[in-house]
Structure 1
Amino acid sequence: MPEPSRAPQLQPESFDRIARDLQALRLDAGPVSYAEIVRRIADQRVQRGVPAAAAIPARSTVYNAFTTGRARMDTELLRDIVIALGATPGEAEVWVQRCRRARSAAEFGAAVQRSAERDQTLARDASAPPPPRSAPRAGVVIVLLAGGVALNLLGLWITAVFKLSVYLDMVGTAIASLVLGPWHGVAVALLSSNLGFVTGDLHTWEFTPVNIAGALIWGYGVRRLRLGASLTRFFSLNLAVALGCSLVAAPIVVAAFGGENGHASVSAVLSLESLGVPMMASVFSANIITSIMDKLLTGFVGLLVFTLLHGRFGVPAAHMPLVEKLGALSAAEAEGARGAPREARTMSGSRPPRAPAAP
């Protein structure tokens, strides 16, 4: 009988080597037919107390143990096969140990292969050029910047004429910051603050830092902090803009105007001072209340304009998922509105059923 150790032991164990050694063992034993091997295995198992119905292995299962190219092998079936071919229990245990080593080698090889494939994938992804970032065309950028400056100046003029309790001087800044980026918003802030004289207001340039603060908070808020992902987040972003602008504006109002800058909020400042509240605290308190109303109104106007630009002209909005959601919603509603008249026309164009003729 051939010994299972006849193969060189310096080579790693494998299921193919075991299968070839099984073929040689079968030839040396007779050769023994596969049907005979099945019968001998069944006899062994019955002697071990296995029920006769469960003791007979499938002939195809026994045959497959002798074939190469296998990815797995049943150690207990292997034990039964070699004993059926004349091996002693001790020799059978050697075969079982070989099978376990082959299984470990196969699992290790598979793990190495998976690791190599993962490394190749990571290297390929790292070497691949990043996808191009979509950005508005130059013409759209110029129009948005010019429109932003015009909207800021228009807001200044409306506030001065109608003596409103809000500022409306940062609508264009908000739109430029949300759509294009924080530094585009800063450009609009600088231009509009230094052109405020065309509206008759000669002091807008002193509030340039306030306008810049709003541009930076809006722009970086939707890009770095993802505050444009939902309505709740966007609401909190506008509150942050209001707070930031008031913190910058209050010292300017006190230093440059003595707490009175001609805005409708001056009466609130005077009322607080009459109660003994320090000037800086009075200015900040009056300013923050007005600023919250103003920045919420300004921010949501900017959101509306951004949604329209995204839906009508395809202006990129990947950095602000809320705009994409609102754009998809409005598109679905528009599609439904187009379908409704068509259905109405179809219904109105159908003829009513003709009344039966009188006998």
Structure 2
Amino acid sequence: MRGYGRLTIFMIPIGIAINFVGGQIALLLKLPVYLDSIGTILVGATCGGLPGALVGLISNGINSITSPPTFAFAILNVAFGLLAGYFGRIGVFRTWWKTLLSVLPFAFIGGFCGALITIWVFDGLAVGGGAIVVGALTAMGMDLNTANFAAQLPMDVLDKVPTVLIVYAIIKGIPKRLLVKLPLGRVYLGQPNPRAKKPVATTATQP
């Protein structure tokens, strides 16, 4: 993690902890959402794609200790972190409506790509909460592969709405003195990118 400050490095275990707590809350309350990528997107949105992806990878690695199949979906959490880093750089999480629009690409990764992994790796046998919905749809006569897409896409949209809104609320609550120390903090403070190329001044030549 060369090139990143101490606060960014400190944010990584915080993001992992947020993922774990969010996932456990959803599990204990039997919510129809996962809430296990809040920390990934938060770190990506404030620190950049690489730290966000690292949070996602480690989070899935920890979860796979008790549930090995979940590690097959680690690529999704890594993608969430990378995408959040890009969205953070272009200022998506500065406004609530752009934040809500980000649900669509996040849900596409989690729902569509997640369904593909389920089909390719587990022969369509869904794991987690999606298994119940897939089972119900197949019992109604739907093809197993179609049932995976029909179940996981809406579920992921439902999951990403509270996820991105929580990320938005957390960023809004971060004090300015801490934001300024984060790699993408300047975006939320409305400061120009110091790496942006300044226009080269030209001088008129006399004929």
State the TM-score bracket (shorter-chain normalisation). Answer: 0.7 to 0.9
Question: Residues 272 and 143 from structure 1, CA distance in 2 versus in 1: closer, same or farther, beyond 3 angstroms?
Answer: same
Choose which of 235, 240, 247 in structure 1 pairs with 2:105.
240
Structure 2 equivalent of residue 183 of structure 1: 50
Deviation at 1:229, TM superposition (A): 4.3
Percent of pairs with identical residues: 23
Q: TM-score, normalised by structure 1?
A: 0.47
Rounded to whole Å, the distance in 1 between the matches of 2:127 and 2:151 is: 13
CA-CA distance at 1:173 after TM superposition: 0.1
Instruction: Report what 2:155 is aligned to.
Output: 290
The residue correspondences of 1:244-263 to structure 2 (distance < 5 A) are 244-263=109-128
Q: Structure 1 residues 204 and 260 mapped into 2: Cα distance closer, same or farther (>3 Å)? A: same
* Alignment of 1:168 onto 2:55: no
Matching of residue 230 in structure 1 with residue 98 in structure 2: no
CA RMSD of aligned residues (A): 2.4
- Deviation of 1:312 after TM superposition, in Å, equals 5.9
Alignment map for 1:142-153 (pairs within 5 Å): 142-153=9-20
Matching residue of 2:193:
none
The answer for the alignment partner of 2:77 in structure 1 is 211
Partners of 1:216 and 1:259 lie apart in 2 by 27
Q: Which has the larger radius of gyration?
A: 1
CA distance in 1, matches of 2:107, 2:50: 19
Q: Structure 1 residue 302 and structure 2 residue 150: aligned? A: no
Q: Cα–Cα, structure 1 residues 175 and 155, in superposed 2: closer, same or farther, change >3 Å?
A: same
1:138 aligns with 2:5: yes
In 2, the alpha carbon distance for the partners of 1:216 and 1:234 equals 16
Aligned partner letter, 2:24:
W
**Which stretch shows the higher mean deviation, 140-149 or 261-270?**
261-270
Asked if the contact 1:213/1:245 (under 8 Å) is kept, the reply is no
Identify the residue that residue 134 of structure 2 maps to in structure 1: 269
- Give the counterpart letter for 1:283 in structure 2: N
The alignment's TM-score, normalised by the length of structure 2, stands at 0.78
Secondary structure in 1 matching 2:186 = coil
Confirm or deny: 8 A CA contact 1:223 1:320 kept in the other structure.
no
CA offset digits 1:65-88 (Å, max 9, x no partner): xxxxxxxxxxxxxxxxxxxxxxxx
The equivalent position to 2:146 in structure 1, one of 258, 281, 284, is: 281
Amino acid at match of 1:231: W
Which AA in structure 2 matches 1:209? I
**Whole-angstrom distance in 1 between the partners of 2:29 and 2:118:** 21
Aligned residue identity for 1:293: L
- Measured after TM superposition, the shift of residue 296 of structure 1 is 1.3
Say if 1:209 and 1:166 are closer, same or farther in 2 by CA, change over 3 A: same
User: What's the counterpart of residue 201 of structure 2?
Assistant: none
**3-state SS of 2:92 partner:** coil
- How many Å apart are 1:234 and its aligned residue? 1.4
**What amino acid is the match of 2:143?**
P
Residues 178 and 310 of structure 1, relative CA distance in 2, 3 Å threshold: farther
Q: Which amino acid aligns with 2:187?
A: H
Deviation, 1:137, is 7.2
Residue 285 (structure 1) shift: 1.7
Contact 1:173 1:185 in 2 (8 A): yes
Q: Which structure is higher in RCO with an 8 Å CA cutoff and minimum separation 6?
A: 2
Alignment of 1:69-84 (within 5 A): none
- Shift of residue 279 of structure 1? 2.0
> Any idea what SS the aligned residue of 1:318 has?
helix
| Unaligned 5+ runs, structure 1 | 1-135, 325-359
CA contact (8 A) 1:218 1:238 kept: no
2:121 & 2:145 partners in 1: Cα distance?
12
